Amino acid sequence: MSQAILEELERRRAAAKLGGGQKRSESQHAKGKLTARERIEVLLDEGSFEETDMFVEHRSHDFGMDQQRIPGDGVVTGRGTIGGRLVYVFSKDFTVFGGSLSGAHAAKIVKIQKMALTAGAPIIGLFDAGGARIQEGVESLAGYADIFLQNTLASGVIPQISVIMGPCAGGDVYSPAITDFIFMVKDTSYMYVTGPDVVKTVTNEVVSHEDLGGARVHAGKSGVADGAFENDLEALSEVRRLIGFLPLSNREKPPVRDSYDEADRDEASLDTLVPTNPNQPYDMKELILKTVDEADFFEIGADFAKNIVCGLGRLDGQTVGIVANQPQVLAGVLDIDSSRKAARFVRFCDAFHIPLVTLVDVPGFMPGTKQEYGALIKHGAKLLFAYAEATVPKLTVITRKAYGGAYDVMSSKHLRGDVNYAWPTAEIAVMGAKGAVEIIFRKEAGDPEALAAREAEYKERFANPFVAAGLGYIDDVIMPHGTRRRLIKALKTLKNKTQENPWKKHDNIPL
């Protein structure tokens, strides 16, 4: 092979790696952002990246585009490893045509999506782009739809993770929306279907990019994002951490990691976690951190619907998904947002063979016209549906309140919970004692002393876990300090659990 050919290859590689050039790369850095290739270097194991389609260029001839061709066409695609495990990645390059999507650009992404699906490995998309390439018209729109189709086909088969690291607007937002997790970077990223200018034209609202679709909006208000990080480095490091909890595809079980945390460890402080005053809050995250291996908990949607906590941890090295009511926020009540958040997480865990641990302290569903007009019935049913259809091992611990329909919904024995425990402080009833007595004995409403006596009687009868345990709805009443040990033992017994739902083309979850 002649030296000239080798030199030509190296020249072309160097040109492709430059993207939009040094000046535009420096502009990225000035905004606090890494370039597309720098992001891949941070995300993947050192030296593991193998690029595909480095030399692809767009095919447009309109509006002078035939004079502007840059190898790679605004997206870097390929595969590599995270912790030695295979992943596929595409990283949009804002330095090339603002990362805008052309037909060729879309074809590169679709190609890597198909490769990931065939190989059975996660795909991670790094977004930093200005939407469709207007010069290509319908071809760019067709490219979006091709990507959306692959996202949909891959859903539940391989983990799909989207990291928004710059602008993400118009058609660009729907691919992340279909994926399993969306993470954003504070101050440098935003997502919206229509930008501030269009909003002003159509609705007369004046709003900034940040207030319309910034990381704080989507991580805290809309729930579109599952997390917001301080900068590119933190976001990419956390994605690496997340991948460590997940299986590569639905064809395998989640990875089991060596744990230095003793499986039979007791945690004496849990015996006093629940206050004696039933109306006093406590932090459910304390229970989570003291139960999982090495207090390592990857929370999902930490800033949204804080009355429910969702995330991934490990028990004796085995990945588990944790869903827990949070008494510190709205007394842990279930509402529209918490139901949506938890339902989606439960379905993700079920799709990828991740056992579910549910920690229950729930006073019921949120009352009020705002919730009812917002379709709480349908949204609450999503969580109910998700738990009912899940066939992974399901472990439940009731720590305090489990009232009304919310008791049923939170992975109860009646929804095929495999192992259901309660702490001695658990109360399982239709409603709290005061409300129940006011209904049952309404004729005695004018006699406070009589009502107080009735309330004490009701508490004696129902403010404990033993009625449910006597019916077999609770498998055992356990000491709080032994929660970790009991969960690990139960999880081991369910290692080879098999359970199937009736055949169907697909279900019709109440969306």
HSE-CB for 440 with a 13 A CA cutoff: 15
Catalytic, out of 406, 429, 436, 463: 406
Distance CA 350, CA 393 (A): 9
Eight-state DSSP code of residue 253: P
CB 135, CB 63: distance < 8 Å: yes
- 74 assigned to active site: no
Residue with tokens 């005061």: 434
CB 96, CB 73: distance < 8 Å: yes
Task: Please enumerate in sequence order all residues whose Cβ is within 8 A of that of 244, keeping only pairs 6 or more positions apart, or say none.
Answer: 82, 83, 255, 257
Q: How far are the Cα atoms of 248, 251, 395, 491, 497 from residue 494, in angstroms, in the given order?
A: 21, 18, 10, 5, 5
- 435 assigned to active site: no
- 405 assigned to active site: yes
- Ramachandran assignment for 165, one of left (phi > 0), alpha (psi -120 to 50 degrees), beta (any other): alpha
Distance CA 491, CA 493 (A): 5
Task: Please enumerate in sequence order all residues whose Cβ is within 8 A of that of 82, keeping only pairs 6 or more positions apart, or say none.
Answer: 43, 44, 45, 240, 243, 244
CB 347, CB 387: distance < 8 Å: no
Catalytic, out of 20, 125, 131, 171: 171
Catalytic, out of 130, 170, 195, 223: 170
Distance CA 321, CA 44 (A): 25
Distance CA 420, CA 143 (A): 48
- 213 assigned to active site: no
- Ramachandran assignment for 161, one of left (phi > 0), alpha (psi -120 to 50 degrees), beta (any other): beta
Catalytic, out of 156, 405, 435, 482: 405
CB 458, CB 433: distance < 8 Å: yes
HSE-CB for 41 with a 13 A CA cutoff: 6
Q: Which active-site residues does the annotation give?
A: 170-171, 405-406
